[in-house]
Each structure stands twice: as structure tokens, then as C-alpha cells.
Amino acid sequence: MDFISSEQIWGIFLFFLGAGMLSWCSWLERTEEEFLRDTKNRYKQQRRKTDFVIPKTVRGALMTITGSLMSLAGITLFFLHIN
């Protein structure tokens, strides 16, 4: 009575790994936003206050894309191997 295959286990693992990566990325973005809200930290690196532009990180975009693709791959792998 093998009701769940090893591919389905890998699909569940990939789904939760991708969901964990998405929540971790969200946590990192929130902590950076809270850090930059303080005006003392916001202008620390710049010479003038007019030079400040909130940087959009490539790390956040890559983590979001990777996490969502891993979750999608996990769901797909799980449902492909249902008997």
C-alpha cells in the first residue's frame, strides 16, 4: 500500500522549501524597510539628502522568483505523480 511515492515527497519538500524562501525574503525586506524608515540610517551612506533613492535589491527579486518557481515545481511534481 504505497499511497505516496518518492516523487510526491520531493514535491512536498520543494513546495515547503519555496514557501520558506518566500517568507524569509519577505522578512528580510520588512527588516530593511524598518531600518530605512529611520532618517538617521537612511542618509548615513550618502553625502547629500537629495542623493537618497531607495534601492531595489536584486537579491529580493531573485529570492522571490526562485521561491515561487520552487513552490510551483513542487505542486506540479506532486500532482503529476498521483495515481
Spatial distance between the Cα atoms of 78 and 80, rounded to a whole number of angstroms: 6
Give burial (CB, 10 Å; 0-12/13-18/19+) of 3.
exposed
Contact indicator for 40, 34 with CB cutoff of 8 Å: no
Please, how many CA atoms are within 13 Å of residue 80, restricted to the half-sphere of its CB? 12
- pLDDT tens digits, residue range 30-76? 888 887 777 776 666 555 555 555 556 788 888 899 999 999 999 99
pLDDT at position 24 is 92
Cell of 69: 518557481
DSSP 2: -
Domain ranges for the chain: 6-80
pTM of the model: 0.72
